[in-house]
Structure 1
């Protein structure tokens, strides 16, 4: 049996939460589906030293500014914490661990299927964000001779060989 809503939002990041806030303010029966097990987890998976390129004063979502120095630049963990706080502060209707498998439309009604549930609504917002699936060129194949690290897997410089190790590696070839 499908659960019925007026609006289904796919993705619980910044755009999905902001859309949810507006739906909440309008009194809509809405649902935010988040694929991960925590709001903001995508931020925590990025590289360790990530900071936003815009100051806190310009980085908040509707109705809740980012706390701290307005001219400072928030870190990845600060943004992740803020997104969790945002959802909690406005009691947004978020369901975690709900990766969407399929969206179909019949007539005026969308059906959104996850592994554990089916939802229906006359409107769907897709707020999944870009670059969630790493892509490697077909010509780039794994080799022991050259370290290949996709940007999605990079966390910090410790993952790279140090220059002395690299020189030793190269000079023995």
Structure 2
């Protein structure tokens, strides 16, 4: 199959891919965005019904276009984010091809070959922005295969209405675990929340604006060789968004320690005590979706690819964007992805000139 040619292929059309496209356009670079989703909005199309941003709309924006406020909401919901991303894609006429699955990226002389289920592309550079939502992680807990109830991950949760009359175990002490536990508790569901360590709630006045500033300050300090202050992790693990705050203050978010095993009908703790359950919801995080980059043989410990900023150290024509702090401070957030996207576009534009 002959390959279509372009200067840059962006793999992924969510918030990171759009931000990268915005900055490449400003440099006059020819590019295409290949997105597996059938419609605009990235992973935001698949979140649970009650999800809200950590920050007001004005502090949750991609470069060049402020997110408009959502009427009646201080913290916009996921649907509002989807609408914003769809408008952003259209406003800047970004060349996104939806419903295209990228299968592999390979070296091909002085270019990179991008293989998809629709067509192949030949590019001078590639920006991978596939995120983590498509790679949910569930730990190997003893007895997981013996449990006869339902098990699902964060990605499969939608609303308390789906669990009426059930006994639910929510596993995970991060933001997803706290928000889903709060959602179920406030929805009147019989819910037990278990966490690896006691939950650490951030102060009520800390939202995404503060977290972005803290993450950025930490990165600047590390770049200057200063002592690591711990960044966001030093403040806590859970942002006290209004539903979480309400459930916590009502005494409905009392976490129990992590259990040692699943039984056929529930969970069991180290002391032998048990809890019966119909469903276990694993809010246990994600791994970077990097299978398409496997032919480049760049992955190191924990599945990460070594980077300098967004640049892959083992392949100077590849940039990774939006996977977490290892690809830029707060780069997995709407407000945080703009700066590393700008830096990646600038570096690529320089590479193309050379």
Q: 2:14 — aligned with what?
A: 13
Aligned to 1:94: 96
Q: What is the aligned counterpart of 1:154 among 150, 153, 157?
A: 157
Cα distance change, pair 69–50 in 1 and its aligned pair in 2 (3 A): closer
Looking at structure 2, the residues matched to 47 and 142 of structure 1 have their Cα atoms a distance apart, in angstroms, of 27
* Aligned mates of 1:92, 1:160 — CA distance in 2: 40
For 1:46, the equivalent position in structure 2 comes to: 47
- Aligned pair in 2 of structure 1 residues 149, 29: CA closer, same or farther (>3 Å)? same
Paired with 2:162 and 2:156, the residues of 1 have a C-alpha distance of 10
Measured against aligned partners, the alpha-carbon deviations of 1:98-133 in whole angstroms (never above 9, x if no partner) come to 110000012320000101100011110000112322
In the alignment, structure 1 segments of 5+ residues that lack a partner are none
Contact 1:47 1:156 in 2 (8 A): yes
The CA RMSD over aligned residues, in Å, is 2.3
Q: What is the count of residue pairs matched by the alignment?
A: 167
Per the TM alignment, residue 34 of structure 1 is displaced from its structure 2 partner at its CA by 0.3
Change (3 A) 1:137 1:110: same
The answer to whether the aligner puts 1:73 opposite 2:96 as a matched pair is no
Q: CA 1:161 to 1:20, structure 2 compared with 1: closer, same or farther past 3 Å? A: same
Query: Within 5 A, what are the aligned runs for 1:57-136?
Result: 57-68=58-69, 72-136=74-138
Bigger Cα displacement from structure 2, 89-98 vs 21-30: 21-30
Equivalence for 1:31: 32
**Please, what TM-score do these two structures have when normalized by structure 1?**
0.87
Structure with the greater relative contact order (CA < 8 A, sep ≥ 6): 1 or 2?
1
